[in-house]
Amino acid sequence: MTEIFVPMFYMMCLTATVFLFSTGIRLKEIYLTSSDASVDGEEHRHPPFDNGSVVLRNSQRNLTNLFEFPVLFYTVCISIFVANTGDAYFVQLAYWYFYLRTIHSFYHIFFNHLAINGGFPMRAMIWIPSTAVLVWMWIRFITLI
């Protein structure tokens, strides 16, 4: 069941997109805020890391997040393939994980409101279902092997 690799590929594309977006924003900010200061004859054109825009910081944090739980997603997908336990339901779960992580990344980078009206953090309301899907994939895989 090689279909499980398609949502994995999409997750890798999401990670690459966030990386390229973050890099593009970073380079733009370096170019726009740079000064031609020279230290020991070497030109340094890098503003302090913490002085970046909110979108830059959020995209860099989101990129870090994409190397945390999604690693478990890649692992379970490869395990499903190797153990030959894949079926259409696993593929659907994998797509759902990808969709939820895409929504999470978009929200994290561009909005990132911690809570609406003092309630439950909005980003967590997207993250928790994606994690539940991932946990369900692992539980189902373990029970099938």
Please write the tens of the pLDDT for every residue from 60-69: 999 999 999 9
Judge contact between 48 and 34, C-beta under 8 A. Answer: no
Least confident of 17-26, 38-47, 81-90, 112-121: 38-47
Judge contact between 104 and 122, C-beta under 8 A. Answer: no
Measured CA to CA in angstroms, residue 31 lies from 1, 47, 136 at distances of: 47, 9, 45
Look at residue 1 and tell me whether its pLDDT is greater than 70: yes
Taking the CA atoms of residue 129, residue 132, residue 138 and residue 139 in that order, the dihedral angle to the nearest 10 degrees is: -140
Residue 102 zone, left/alpha/beta (φ > 0; ψ -120 to 50; rest): alpha
Look at residue 48 and tell me whether its pLDDT is greater than 80: no
Closest CA to 65 of 20, 110, 16, 15: 15
Residue span of the structural domain in which 132 resides = 2-144
Read off the pTM: 0.86
Question: Rounded distance, CA 33 to CA 138, Å?
Answer: 46
Query: Quick one: pLDDT at residue 116?
Result: 65
**% of the chain residues with pLDDT over 90:** 72
Residue 84: which CATH number?
1.20.120
Look at residue 38 and tell me whether its pLDDT is greater than 50: no
Give start and end residues of each alpha helix (H) in the chain.
Answer: 5-33, 54-65, 69-82, 88-110, 122-144
The residue among 47 and 95 whose pLDDT is bigger is 95
Query: Quick one: pLDDT at residue 25?
Result: 94
**Residue 125: Cβ-neighbour burial (10 angstroms; 0-12, 13-18, 19+):** middle
> pLDDT band at residue 110, thresholds of 50, 70 and 90?
very high
- The number of distinct structural domains making up the chain is 1
Least confident of 13-22, 30-39, 78-87: 30-39
Q: What are phi and psi of 42, to 5 degrees?
A: -105, 130
